[in-house]
Amino acid sequence: MTPQDAPAPRPKDSATERTRSPPQPADRKTGRSETERAAPTSPLEWVAAGIGALLIAAMIAYMVQYGLREHGEVPGRIDIAVVETQASGHGHTVRFQIRNRTTATAATLRVRGELRSGDRVVEAVEAEFDYLPPYSERFGGLIFQQDPARFELRIVPTSYSEP
């Protein structure tokens, strides 16, 4: 029943070759005889190991290319767009989207919303974001007592700190 009892020099070969290339008959025999002794790496394990190797290589490769590309930009290009305005119990909620278009992270980012009537600021409220990572978007809301539809609405980022 035992194909061969000779001490196999390369016990793992059968497993790798099953995942990589068609196994050679001679190698498979030695691999089999080793199977009954120690617990060798199974083909499935080699597949999982391959996935793991790919994943970590991809993460490293991505971070390296990102590191090479990064120029330490100032998070100056921040876009704000109003998504919707809703009347609520406490006033009028202006929901907005804020996008960072640079590779720098802005921490404790403050956004100021103003309702203006000509040069006069009728009402001003602030929102704060813990973090706005590179090239990402976040949503926030500004709650005004007055109806924003009756005034000119201006939303601008006012300050941030570097993490």
Partner 1 sequence: MTADTGHSDAATPERPVYEDNRSFLIGLARAFAGALIFSLPMLMTMEMWWIGFTMTPWRLVLLLVLLIPLLIGLSVVSGFKTNASLRDDIADAFVAIAVAVVMSAVILGIFKVLSFDMPAREVIGKIALQSFPAAIGAMLARDQLGEKTAESTQRQDSMTYGQELFLMAVGALFLGLNVAPTEEMVLLSYVMDPWREVALLLLSLVLMHAFVYAVELPGGSKPPGGVGFWSLFLRFTVVGYVIVLAICLYLLWTFGRTDGTGLAEIISATVVLGFPCAIGAAAARLIL
Total residues contacting partner 1 (rule CB under 8 A)?
48
| Nearest residue (CB) to partner 1, 53 versus 83 | 53
Q: Cβ 120 to partner 1, closest distance in Å?
A: 38
Shortest distance, position 149 Cβ to partner 1, whole Å: 28
Cα separation, 163 vs 27, in Å, equals 56
The two most distant CA atoms of the chain are separated, in Å, by 95
Alpha-helical (H) ranges within 12-121 are 13-20, 25-35, 43-69
d(CA 151, CA 97): 20
**How near is the Cβ of 19 to partner 1 at its closest, in Å?**
11
Contacts of partner 1 in 47-86 (CB under 8 A): 48-53, 55-56, 59-60, 62-64, 66-67, 70
Instruction: Determine if 87 is a binding residue for partner 1 (CB under 8 A).
Output: no
User: Cβ contacts of residue 90 below 8 Å, gap of 6+?
Assistant: 143
At 2, list the tokens.
């035992």
Interface with partner 1 (CB under 8 A), residue from 73, 128, 137, 152: 137
Smallest distance from partner 1 to CB 155, Å: 20
